[in-house]
Structure 1
Amino acid sequence: MQVLDWIAIVLFLTTWIGLEPLMAVGWPRRKDSLMLDMVRIREAWMREVLTRDTNFIGDAAILGHTINSASFFGSANLIVIVAMSSALFMEPSAGVEAGIIAKFAPIEPIWLFQCKVLLVMATLLRGLSDFIWSVRQINYCLAAIGASPSREEDRDITAWTHALSLVVNPAIRSFSQGVRSYYFTIAAAVWFLGPIAFIVATACSVGLLLWRHSWSDTAKGVTAVRKLLDEKAAAAPVAEEGTKATIRSLIREEQ
């Protein structure tokens, strides 16, 4: 195993393990972070769930779509994991002397080839775990929404919004983490072509992920929605006070 292989694997593990916690707190753009903006948007969604006139069918359909997506990705991960596990039990010469990869990759010992297979499987397993946990959490979220009080009941909207947000945000975040794991799966698979290709693939995967979450049109659109929600929230107390003043003036006129 070359020194470049060690450098590549250390770089990969550092970014694979450390990137998610950094992005969760808003890095690299804390002010306009897509992940933090989505937390605010989902909170507004839960408030609308509690205050809108219609029932929860549309909201349940949205969450149901996420469950279906997570189930699909989880099943795909499981199939690929089982398929790749066969590489751990094949003839030693089959993995390093035959196949398309062998035409481009250097000759290497079988144990190193199997380590590369295990790394790809590890990224898929992490994604599978995220998808499974996402499905479980979304089911909890559906139950929580179904248990929320109706408009006719006495309720604390702020407290209920906060409680529902505590359930829905981790659920959707787990699904997103599972999707983001594919970036690292692709980078890990490139290790078969050598350590230099592995380093380049890791850097490109991280760069693409950060760009899509910080500077893409979607990220800008999400930030714009969050700002509109903030403006709406800031204007709400003013509008409410104006309504109260109007009511008081009408009462005085009647008197």
Structure 2
Amino acid sequence: MPGTFPFARLLELPLADLLALGFFLVAWAGYAYYTDYSKRSQDTLSAVMSHHRLRWMRNLVEQENRVADSTMIGNLMRAVSFFASTSILILGGLLALLGSLDRSYEVILALPFVADDGKLVFEVKVAVLVIIFVYTFFKFTWSIRQFNYCCVAMAGAPATTAPKEEKEHFAHFAARLNALGARSFNEGMRGYYFALASLVWFVHPYAFIGATLAVIAILYRREFHSKTLKTLRASLQAAEQNSG
């Protein structure tokens, strides 16, 4: 039925498209697990940034004026809000495609390199994009809420004269809350990357697989072997040596 998500008819897809979609989903889930939950998760850029967030909160409780810290959280929230708003706009466009399937199908086919696999395959491809951007929207909005909670927690931070144990407990708590907001933001951004890979599905299912591998390679390099990671890790090690 035009205009609806044809999930019940997925088995009618060509074998190459089914394999490509299955590979895409498994690759995304596998990379997310490897990066966020495996033993290697402690070697990531996000893990190093968690230590820097702890340093940030430790410095915060030693300062009387915390306006700059609140401003930084506000900047983070605005950046996440931008991507959440963009997800809504993209969803509107994708739903419009599904709402006028016949016309949008003809328009897309007029583009170079787009494969003519039939309306069912086209509708499933658009539906997959819809699901991805619904996912990113929820991740971004949850990230905003967590940063908002962190901002409230920072407003109730212990005074500089508070006991050391109380300040250390707060620093760990606030840094953890901040890191959770950042994780949700990273997961939403990861959805954007994989959405770009799924666009290649309109060209060919095997190109879709190749694009998925390319996205994973890019994300892996940035998370585990980027110059930014090396710089942040070196800065953290230098700070620990100086404090020691």
Whether TM exceeds 0.5 here: the answer is yes
Task: Decide which of 36, 46, 61 is 1:35's aligned counterpart.
Answer: 46
**Partner AA of 2:197 in structure 1:** A
The answer to whether residue 178 in structure 2 is matched with residue 168 in structure 1 is yes
RMSD: 1.9
C-alpha separation between the residues in 1 aligned to 2:114 and 2:88?
27
1:127, distance to aligned residue in structure 2 (A): 1.2
Post-superposition Cα deviations, 1:110-168, rounded to whole Å, max 9, x if no partner, equal: 12111100111211111111110111111110110111111123452221112212211
Sequence identity percentage: 27
The answer to whether residue 215 in structure 2 is matched with residue 205 in structure 1 is yes
The answer to whether residue 90 in structure 2 is matched with residue 80 in structure 1 is yes
Q: Secondary structure at 2:100's aligned position in 1?
A: coil
Cα distance change of structure 1 residues 99 and 119 upon mapping to structure 2, 3 Å threshold: closer
Q: Normalized against structure 1, the TM-score is what?
A: 0.83
Choose 70-79 or 169-178, whichever is displaced more. Answer: 169-178
C-alpha separation between the residues in 2 aligned to 1:14 and 1:57?
44
Match of 1:46 in 2: 57
C-alpha separation between the residues in 2 aligned to 1:227 and 1:10?
41
1:9, distance to aligned residue in structure 2 (A): 0.7
C-alpha separation between the residues in 1 aligned to 2:172 and 2:38?
20
Which ranges in structure 1 are unaligned for 5 or more consecutive residues? Answer: 236-255
Which ranges in structure 2 are unaligned for 5 or more consecutive residues? Answer: 1-12
Q: Secondary structure at 2:17's aligned position in 1?
A: helix
8 A Cα contact 1:101 1:192, kept in partner: no
Task: Decide which of 16, 19, 25 is 2:28's aligned counterpart.
Answer: 16
8 A Cα contact 1:33 1:214, kept in partner: yes
Match of 2:201 in 1: 191
**Partner AA of 1:47 in structure 2:** R
Q: Secondary structure at 1:104's aligned position in 2?
A: coil
C-alpha separation between the residues in 2 aligned to 1:87 and 1:208?
30
Count of matched residue positions in the alignment of Structure 1 and Structure 2: 231
The answer to whether residue 144 in structure 2 is matched with residue 135 in structure 1 is yes
8 A Cα contact 2:45 2:224, kept in partner: yes
Q: Normalized against structure 2, the TM-score is what?
A: 0.87
Cα distance change of structure 1 residues 231 and 31 upon mapping to structure 2, 3 Å threshold: farther
8 A Cα contact 2:147 2:181, kept in partner: yes
8 A Cα contact 2:64 2:159, kept in partner: no
Pairing of 1:44-193 with structure 2 (within 5 A):
44-51=55-62, 53-92=63-102, 94-99=103-108, 102-154=111-163, 156-193=166-203
1:96, distance to aligned residue in structure 2 (A): 3.8
Q: Secondary structure at 1:150's aligned position in 2?
A: coil
